Amino acid sequence: MKTQRAADNKLVIHLDRREKQLLVQVLGLYPRIPPAHQPLSKSARLPDHEAGQQLLNEALAEQRAANRRQVQALLAEDRRFEEKPDGWQVSFSQPEVEWLLEVLNDVRVGSWIILGSPEEKLGKLTRENAPHFWAMEMAGYFQMELLHALAD
């Protein structure tokens, strides 16, 4: 994956064929964070805590649905990915990169949660946990590449 800034301040990404396939697979996993994972508050001392939590859950569900539609639209957009002799070229505006980072973060963190939120090394890879570990690592890879490109 190679990145550069275009004259119109877009981020241009060059992907080899395998990287494009991996990016599409990772984005296709969105959303990964379990719906009821984000509490309104760590304490239940808020007035009408249940109603507030329900509102948060509904807002998050709407946001996830909108993001999912946007991911599907991005992947279906014919002109977004331009085939080149050595792979693919794709460009994103600054707001699109920020949104893409959020989506990738959801896949990374959601996969970590599914793995049991391990603080240390995962241990033995199994048939059950390997796909979640792969998703976490690949989302992190794409996040780091995008963040590195933004810092240049």
Task: Determine how β-strand 81-84 pairs with β-strand 2-5.
Answer: unpaired
**Residue 105 or 56, more confident:** 105
Which uninterrupted H or E stretch holds 65?
Answer: helix 49-76
Q: What is the pLDDT of residues 17-49, one digit of tens each?
A: 999 999 999 999 999 998 877 777 666 676 786
pLDDT band at 98 (very low <50, low <70, confident <90, very high): very high
- Mean pLDDT, rounded, for 66-74: 95
Structure tokens at 55: 């509102």
Q: What's residue 43's pLDDT?
A: 64
CB 122 within 8 A of CB 133: yes
Count of domains forming the chain: 1
CB 32 within 8 A of CB 18: no
CB 45 within 8 A of CB 23: no
Whole-number CA gyration radius for the chain: 18
pLDDT band at 137 (very low <50, low <70, confident <90, very high): very high
Range of the domain at 36: 2-151
- Nearest to residue 69, comparing CAs of 108, 93, 99, 89? 99
**Residue 82 or 54, more confident:** 82
CB 133 within 8 A of CB 125: yes
